Amino acid sequence: MNKKDNTSEKPTKKIDQLEQSSWEVEDSTMKTNQGLKVNDTNNSLKAGERGATLLEDFLLREKITHFDHERIPERIVHARGSGAHGYFELYNPIPEYTKAGIFNDTKRRTPVFVRFSTVAGSKGSPDLARDVRGFATKFYTEEGTWDLVGNNMPIFFIQDAMKFPDLVHSVKPEPNNEIPQAASAHDTFYDFVSHTTETLHNHIWAMSDRAIPRSFRMMEGFGIHTFRFINKEGESHFVKFHWKPVLGVHSVTWDEAVKINGADSDFHRRDLWEAIDAGHYPEWELGVQLVPQKDEHKYDFDLLDPTKLIPEEMVPVKIVGKMTLNKNPENFFAETEQVAFLPGHIVPGIDFTNDPLLQGRLFSYRDTQLSRLGSPNFHQIPINRPVVDGHNNQRDGHMQMDIPKGQTAYFPNSISGGCPHLSKMAEGAFTSYEERIDARKIRTRSESFSDHFSQPALFYRSLSKWEQEHVAGAYTFELGKCKQDAIKERMLWLIDQIDSDLAKNVAKGLGMKVPKNIEQPINQAIGADADVKKHQPAAKKNYLDKSPALSQAKTKFDSIVTRQIAVLAADGFSMKNLKKMKSVLEKEGATLKIIAPMGGSITCDENMDHKVDASIMTTESVLFDAVYIPGGKKSIEALGENVKYIKFVNEAFKHCKPIAVDGEGEEFLKKTYAGKYTDDKAVLVNENATAFKESIQKHRNWDRREIAESVPA
Ligand code: HDE
């Protein structure tokens, strides 16, 4: 993790460009948009002190008209998002695979802007919805802008762009009553999923802990589609992109997610902002899975099918560089809201495949920006401007920000000496990979896309026991929220095709039985004239027993950087105890926050005042990663008299978090559930700070989960 250093880590040209275009004025006088100095922005122009407002009031009209148009349409999906600036650096050149400058020049520090998002909820929806997260990166490269518009799961719900409106309409609030917000747990979504079996793989990921991340900074990212790398010789390799978070992949529990949404619905947004602000810059390594062109048909799945991943055990992820996010936006709207990502923004050395979902996206995103940002000039908005300026004969349009000069706006011309002139491939021009195509024009789905069960089953098999239990809990919750039994039955039958134990567990929770047969054919995502049998999901295959890379239990557990530790204390707490913990945990990058009975400050047993970070009335256990209770007789007595502290610790215990107490803290612990289980490896009584640190590194003690379930918090 890099520490804050404003000058040396500035992502060069892009930030300079943004700063130049930012709204900076030298004198602080208020002026209208036409530069007129304003002497009153509080009162409209009236006919007399108590009279009617005059139509003449151009100051009122300018102010109100601008306000009336402050909102732009929110994104139809991924409306709720948070962004940050940073840069990408390459470890080693890979010219054998791609000629892209960003993958060949280790001296470059390519500026990036990343926007993380949820998918289903609207702009003001809570951060901890069970949902896929968007992970979109704009690389401002010297050869033009490259957008890698991915998610935090390596596969997508559907195989063909034609199904996207159906998918989104099914998961969005139901159209008659606009309920539920930012939630997939309702009939229309499961009606769609249970009839569209290609969704099952992404769906089981959405039922896993990946859908409730601890932080954007602790999520993987994936380009999902198979793209192409093209080298100088014009050779193609298939490539899949992976972002690997340096902090590892960690999540919260569902019970926590529900409570976090109430306690701090900006939890992820705040977490990202505060980490960057504190100089704990989030980092991800970029990895690529490479498949030579000749191996296109080597696998048991189709590389063009976006509902399939390539297990890392079959094609390893080659780490090529690192991204660091080191600057918060100056203005949410100007940057995070107006940023426009397009999968069609690529650079020489990267190209598309015929993945039918990707092909549709190449159309959709430009179209979306036209309606969202309202003009084909959206590339002129500062956040969307490439670091190499465009130069062509496109002209005019809404909100033209440039003043193109000269007499000609066409090609070819002689009046302007042929400018702007064309460039050759050898000079770095983009040319498409010359893929040979010899085909019939046809509206259908390839049979090689019909395996809908093997990879959901592989994913489930690869999870640890606790992860599997969370998946079962999520299915049970989601289906439990559905009203129609027919939908639940279809889902149970489908889950049974993935894993029969999983189906039995879910059925038990629903108070239902797994149906033996289901009215066939179940997959309805086919054309009216299609051969129905041919399009039903193919029999499950087992080409790999397990893919450990898919399990969060196999992630990194070596850091406590940015972990939030609640220190429960009142007047008279032991300073010696707190010092001991602070010196170790803060050195390792964790943040300790004093949670006192009231705001203001408290006095320790050494008679010093300490600023309170939050009163117990204004915060919640779910907002912290671990709890520490220093000793001090008076302090412990005060905590023991306040039921909110007992609830705080009970919840931390329920969520399998590390809890440490020192001195008289042990007395307080006895009043909580944690006090009954002091042999628990993450309940530490009078232990050293290093033991607590190691416990926090492990994120949670999942071995506690059965006992935790019984805690009525
Ligand atoms: Fe998107 N998607 N999408 N999507 N998507 C949008 O574009 C769309 C898909 C993803 O932070 C929209 O600017 C279609 C896959 C992210 O600004 C829209 C299809 C993946 C973001 C759109 C897909 C994504 C979007 C809405 C099926 C992962 C947020 C606003 C063919 C690889 C980007 C906008 C940001 C946003 C369309 C499928 C990721 C409507 C038609 C697959 C991260 O254009």
Q: What is the pLDDT of residue 258?
A: 98
DSSP secondary structure string for all residues of 517-560: --PSP----S-TTS-TGGGSPPPP--S-S--GGG-GGGS-----
| Catalytic hit among 85, 104, 151, 250 | 151
Q: What is the pLDDT of residue 5?
A: 44
User: What are the two backbone dihedrals, phi and then psi, of residue 362, each rounded to the nearest 5 degrees?
Assistant: -65, -25
Residue 133 CB–ligand 1 contact under 6 Å = no
Which ligand 1 atom minimizes the distance to the CA of 151? 28
Query: Given the structure tokens 């054919």, which residue do they identify?
Result: 521
Residue nearest to atom 23 of ligand 1 (CA): 361
Q: What is the pLDDT of residue 9?
A: 53
Q: What is the pLDDT of residue 4?
A: 42
Classify residue 317: in a domain, yes or no. yes
| Catalytic hit among 78, 186, 225, 452 | 78
Residue 120 CB–ligand 1 contact under 6 Å = no
Active site residue 577: no
Kindly tell me the number of DSSP H helices and DSSP E strands found in the chain. Answer: 19, 18
242: its two tokens: 């992976």
Residue 341 CB–ligand 1 contact under 6 Å = yes
Give the CATH number of the domain where residue 332 resides. Answer: 2.40.180.10
User: Distance between alpha carbon 284 and the CA centroid of its chain, in Å?
Assistant: 13
- Could you tell which of 225, 364, 366, 370 is best to mutate to test the pocket of ligand 1, judged by most ligand atoms within 8 Å of the CB? 364
Statement to judge: residues 254 and 279 lie in one domain: yes
C-alpha 128 to ligand 1 mean position (Å): 20
Q: What is the pLDDT of residue 2?
A: 43
Statement to judge: residues 150 and 249 lie in one domain: yes
At position 540, the amino acid (one-letter code) is K
Statement to judge: residues 659 and 541 lie in one domain: no
Classify residue 168: in a domain, yes or no. yes
475: its two tokens: 């299915």
Classify residue 57: in a domain, yes or no. yes
Structural domain ending residue among the three candidates 353, 384, 415: 384
Statement to judge: residues 517 and 565 lie in one domain: no
Statement to judge: residues 511 and 525 lie in one domain: yes
Statement to judge: residues 658 and 528 lie in one domain: no
Which ligand 1 atom minimizes the distance to the CA of 368? 44
Query: Given the structure tokens 């909102």, which residue do they identify?
Result: 71
From CA 240, how far away is CA 242, in angstroms rounded? 7
Classify residue 621: in a domain, yes or no. yes
Q: What is the pLDDT of residue 7?
A: 40
Domain count, the chain: 3
Provide the H-helix boundaries in 528-678. Answer: 575-587, 633-640, 643-654, 665-669
Residue 138 CB–ligand 1 contact under 6 Å = no
Statement to judge: residues 667 and 541 lie in one domain: no
Q: At CB < 8 A and 24+ separation, what contacts does 431-436 make?
A: 431/348, 432/351, 433/228, 433/230, 433/234, 433/236, 433/351, 434/234, 435/236, 435/354
Active site residue 6: no
Residue 364 CB–ligand 1 contact under 6 Å = yes
Residue nearest to atom 42 of ligand 1 (CA): 156
Q: Residues 208-236: pLDDT tens digits?
A: 999 999 999 999 999 999 999 999 999 99
Statement to judge: residues 537 and 579 lie in one domain: no
Classify residue 546: in a domain, yes or no. yes
Residue ranges of the chain whose pLDDT lies below 70 = 1-12, 20-26
The residue range of the domain holding 657 is 557-708
Q: What is the pLDDT of residue 15?
A: 77
Classify residue 499: in a domain, yes or no. yes
Statement to judge: residues 379 and 484 lie in one domain: no
User: Distance between alpha carbon 196 and the CA centroid of its chain, in Å?
Assistant: 25
